[in-house]
Amino acid sequence: MSPAPHTRRYSAFISYRHADNTQEGRRWAEWLHRGLERYVVPPDLIGTSNLRGEPIRDSLYPIFRDEDELPANADLATGIRAALEVSDHLIVLCSPRSAVSPWVRKEVREFKELGRSDRILAIIIAGEPNADDPAKAREGILRDEECFCEELRFGAVREDGTLDWTVRTEPLAADLRPIGTRAEGFVTAEAYREYLTLNSSLTPDKIAIRTETYRQQLGHSILKVAAGLLGVPLGQLIDRDAAHRADVARQELAKAEAEAARLSRLTRRLSAAMIIAFVLALAAVYLSLVAAVARDSAMAQQHRAEDALARGERVIDYLVCDLHDNLRAVGRTELLHKVEDSVRIYYESEGTDAAALNAAKAFDQLGDLAVTRGDVSSAGKSYEKAAHLLNRVEVEPDAFALRYEKTVNLKNLAWVAARKKYWLKAESHWGAAFVELSQLGSVAKDHRAKWRAERLAAVLQDLKGDLLRAQGRVQEAAHAYELAVNIGASLVALLDREITEGDTEAIRVLRERSVALGKQGDLHLNAEPPRTAMAMVAFKASLSDRERLVALSRARNFEYLADLSVALNKMSQVEILTQEWSDAHMHIDRAISLAKKLTEFEPANSVWWNNAIMHLELRGELFLAEGRATSAVPDFQEALQMAATAQPSKQPAHQAMQERLQAKLRQAVESR
C-alpha cells in the first residue's frame, strides 16, 4: 500500500544507516532531529533574505526522519522518494557503515538528480572522508574507513544541469568525531566523559578539558547545520547566539544594578568594619547574575566566595580579581566603580603593607576598566593612585608580588603617557618597568611565577613596539612585535595542555599574542607599497586567536567579541586591496553585526561605539571600491549619525573623523 502524498514541506531529510541510531549514547539521527527542530531561529533574521535570495523561515521544523515520519505499513521506496521531493535539504550522517548502505547511496543519488546537489550537508560521526587519497594511505588510514558514500564523493553538476559521476565533489561537512581522532563520538558530552573515565588513563583534569571541548563541538555542529539550512553565514548565527546571551545578561544585570543601588544607599551608615559585608553582598548579587548566564561558571565562583567568607582578606581578592574579570567580560564595568570607595576605606583602615599592595592592585584594575570604556583620563588617575600606594610599601626588595605589581603599574603609566603623546614620559616609565622586569625573573620562586614574568615581558615588548612605531622607527617596532608574538607562542606551548575557559593566565597570553599579531599586520598593511600577503598571514593568525578566545568564553566575554570585530575589520581591509570582494563583505558584515550588538548592550562604551563607526566606514569604502556608490551612501550616513551622537564635536580627533566621513559621503553621492 502506498503512503498518502506529503502535504507539507520539510526543511531537511536526514539520510542515515539505522545501525548508526541504535546504540545508547550514539543515537545520532534522533539527536540531530531533535536539535534542529528545537533550534530557535533568531527573530531578527526571520523574513529577511538569505544568501540564496529566499526569505528565512521562522523555524527549521519539520525535519524528515523515516522512523518518525513513515507509517509501519508504508511502501518504503515510494515514501522515501516522495519525502525527498518535498525536502529543501539532505543531511547525510556519514560513517563507514552508512558509506556502504544501499539506502543512503540511493537517497543521495536521487536528491542530486532532483537538481539539489548544492543543498547536501554531511555530518561525519565516524571514519575518515576521502580515505582513498594516497596521502592518507601513507598515514595508515585504510580504505574501509571511508565515511563518504560514492554518491557523495562524486557527481558534479555540468553546465547543462546534468550530473557527471566521474568528477569528485566535496560536500559541506560538520565533524562530530572527538578532536584528533577518527573514532566515533557521542551525542552528549556526559556520555563522552563516562567513556573516557572508563576507557582511558587520562587524569580527571584532562578528562574535564576534553569533555568541555566536545560539548562546544556538539553545539557548534548544530549551529553549522542550521546555518546551512537557513542559508546564512555560520558567523551570523554565532553572533546571534552571543546576542541572545547578552539579552539574558542584560535582564539579570538590571536586577543586580537595582540591588547595588539599594546597597550603596546603606554605605553612608556603614563603618569601615562593615565594608567587608557590603562587598560580600555585591559579590553575591553578581554571582546570582552569572548563575543565570553560565551555571557551571557561577558554581565555581560561588565556592570561591564561600571560601572568602572564612578568610577575610580573600573577600577583597575576590573583588579585585574575579569580580573585576567577570564584570569586564560582560561589558558592565561601571558596577565596580560603585565599590571603589569601599575598597579604599577598607585598605586605609588596615594600614599594613599587604593592604597597600592589594589597594594598588585594585586601582590598577580600575584603571584597566577605564581603558576598556575608552576613558584614558580616568585610567591615568587610577594608575597614579596605584603608584602612590606602591611607593609607600616597605616590603623586602626581592618580594616577587611587589616587583610584579610595580612592573605592571609602570607599564600602565607608560601606556597612558603614550596615548597622551607624552613620549619622553612614556619612555621613562617603560624603562623603569624594564628595570623592574629584569630583576623579576631572579626572584621568581616557582614555575608559575617565572611564567608570569615571561608573560609580562611579552606585554612590554608589545608596548615598546607601539612607542617605536609612533616615532616612525618601523623596522624596530616590527622586531618588538615579533618578539612579543614569539614569547606568547612559547608560553602557550609551555602549558602542555589544551587551554580551557578557566585558564585565566593562558587566555590572557593568547589575547596579548593576538594583539601583537594584529599590530604586525598593521605594519605590513601600512608599508609603501602595502605587503598584503604578509599582512594577511598576520591578520589570519590574529583572527584565529580571537575566534578561539570567543569560543573559550562561549561567546559570553564581550571584550573578546569586541576584539574579534576589530580582527574581522583588518581581514576585510586586506581583502579590499586584493579585490577579494566576497570575503571582504563576509568579514566586515560580521564585524558590524558584532559591534552593533555590543553598543546596544552598553551605549556608554566609547571604544565599542567607535568600532561600529570604523566598521561602517570600511564597508562604505568597500562598496566604493566595487563601484557600488549607491550602496555606500547608507553606511556613511549611519556612521556620521553615530559619530554625531558619540562625542562632543569640539574634540579635534572626533571633528576630524566627522569631516572625513562627510567627505566620503559626498564622494559616494557624487559617484551615484
Helices of type H across 502-531? 504-525
What is the distance between the alpha carbons of residues 101 and 116, in angstroms, rounded to a whole number?
Answer: 21
3-state secondary structure at position 130 = coil
φ/ψ (deg, to 5) at 63 = -110, 135
Whether residue 433 is contained in a domain is answered as: no
Non-local CB neighbours of 222 within 8 Å, separated by 6+ positions: 32, 35, 36, 39
Whether residue 287 is contained in a domain is answered as: no
Distance of CA 600 to the CA centre of its chain: 18
Whether residue 577 is contained in a domain is answered as: no
Whether residue 146 is contained in a domain is answered as: yes
What is the distance between the alpha carbons of residues 556 and 252, in angstroms, rounded to a whole number?
Answer: 14
pLDDT at 436: 84
Whether residue 278 is contained in a domain is answered as: no
pLDDT at 303: 43
What would the pLDDT profile of 317-349 be if each residue is shown by its tens digit?
Answer: 444 444 445 444 444 444 455 555 555 555 555
Non-local CB neighbours of 158 within 8 Å, separated by 6+ positions: 164
Provide the greatest CA pair distance for the chain: 92
What is the distance between the alpha carbons of residues 279 and 198, in angstroms, rounded to a whole number?
Answer: 44
Whether residue 178 is contained in a domain is answered as: yes
Whether residue 482 is contained in a domain is answered as: no
Distances (CA, A) of 76 to 103, 110, 151, 202, 568: 10, 14, 20, 46, 49
Whether residue 311 is contained in a domain is answered as: no
Instruction: Pick out the chain residues at pLDDT < 50.
Output: 1-6, 71-74, 266-324, 326-335, 397-398, 496-497, 648-650
What is the distance between the alpha carbons of residues 387 and 351, in angstroms, rounded to a whole number?
Answer: 16
Structural domains of the chain, count:
1
> Which structural domain range is residue 33 located in?
12-232
φ/ψ (deg, to 5) at 232 = -125, 155
What cell was used for 198?
572508563
Identify the H or E element spanning 367. helix 353-372
